[in-house]
Amino acid sequence: MAKNKVKYGLKSVYYAVATIDELTNTATYATPKPWPGAVNMSLDQQGDITKFRADNIDYWVGNSNNGYSGDFESALIPDDFRKDVLNEIEDSNGVFIEDAAAKTVHFALLFQFEGDAKATRHVLYNCTANRPSVSGATTEETIEPQTETITITSVAIHNADLDIDVVKGRVGQDEAQYSTWYDAVYQATAKATYYTVSFDTDGGSAVASQSVRSGAKATEPAAPTKAGYEFDGWYTSNTYTTEFNFDSAISADTTVYAKFVELFTVTFDTDGGSVVPSQTVADGSKATRPADPTKEGYTFVNWYKEAAFTNLFDFDDAITADTTIYAKFSA
């Protein structure tokens, strides 16, 4: 699974009106609406680091998460957002009116950052916004588009299923939830369970175990090595009857078994003729018939199992041990 080294490219901003239950401090959300024209978002984390010194060291360090606060710049603030969140009133003539007594509405903010390997989508669960400033400039010789900036504050909201206060969520492009991120505000229902995937290499080079989230897939590691053997795949058991499928979801602690096949040397005895290189052949596989050797004053006849040239060697036979094959020549 690829991981980002950098992020860039703010896009796909949505907002969803939140209804806050003041008794439980939980939220329900309307369907997200698009906020086109995203230009820049700069939200600083809010919270203090508290240090307690003892024994000439930082004996205890506490970090409070008070959410985020900062500015979001876009081409224009959508009219829907002005009505839904800022509580501006649209009159019968299509004029937007600011109500001095209106209170702004809580909302979730959803957005996406591009990355060098994959995109990530985010949600801030409990946001409020201040009214934007009024600004503009006269037209110069060249047109410079004017943007609008709004100050957003994001604080925690309670998630009843997790029984924690949550501020933000994010999902990577390779996760199933990514494709439905803007259909509804995602709310977690359970903490992830992780399982250990171990690799038994039967005396071969070690392969590190993996911690895999329930429902996710293990990553196929590089093939292990073992002196005198050839790696022949990963299997579900040490009887090597069923290959392990790395596209299958992990739902329990799992051991994956490396199968190795012993390697044998097939040597060609040419009885003083031209040299034929030896071959390394996996147990149960076949040797490759080489080009016919030559010997001055003689004609090559065939390859035999014995130096006495009693039985022809069959290159369709499986190799199960170190083997010498003998070349027969006739004068």
3-class DSSP string for the chain: CCCCCCEEEEEEEEEEEEEEECCCCEEEECCCEECCCEEEEEEEECCCEEEEEECCEEEEEEECCCCEEEEEEECCCCHHHHHHCCCCEECCCCCEECCCCCCCCCEEEEEEEEECCCCEEEEEEEEEECCCCCCCCCCCCCCCCCCEEEEEEECCEEECCCCEEECEEEEECCCHHHHHCCCCCCCCCCCCCEEEEEEECCCCCCCCCEEEECCCCCCCCCCCCCCCEEEEEEECCCCCCCECCCCCCCCCCEEEEEEEEEEEEEEEECCCCCCCCCEEEECCCCCCCCCCCCECCEEEEEEECCCCCCCECCCCCCCCCCEEEEEEEEC
Which pLDDT tens digit goes with each residue over 180-231?
A: 999 999 998 888 899 999 999 999 999 999 999 999 999 999 999 999 999 9
CATH classification of 263-330 is 2.60.40.4270, yes or no?
A: yes
Domain ranges of the chain: 7-180, 194-253, 263-330
Which pLDDT tens digit goes with each residue over 105-151?
A: 999 999 999 875 688 999 999 999 998 877 665 566 665 678 899 99
Which pLDDT tens digit goes with each residue over 25-59?
A: 999 999 999 999 999 999 888 876 667 777 666 66
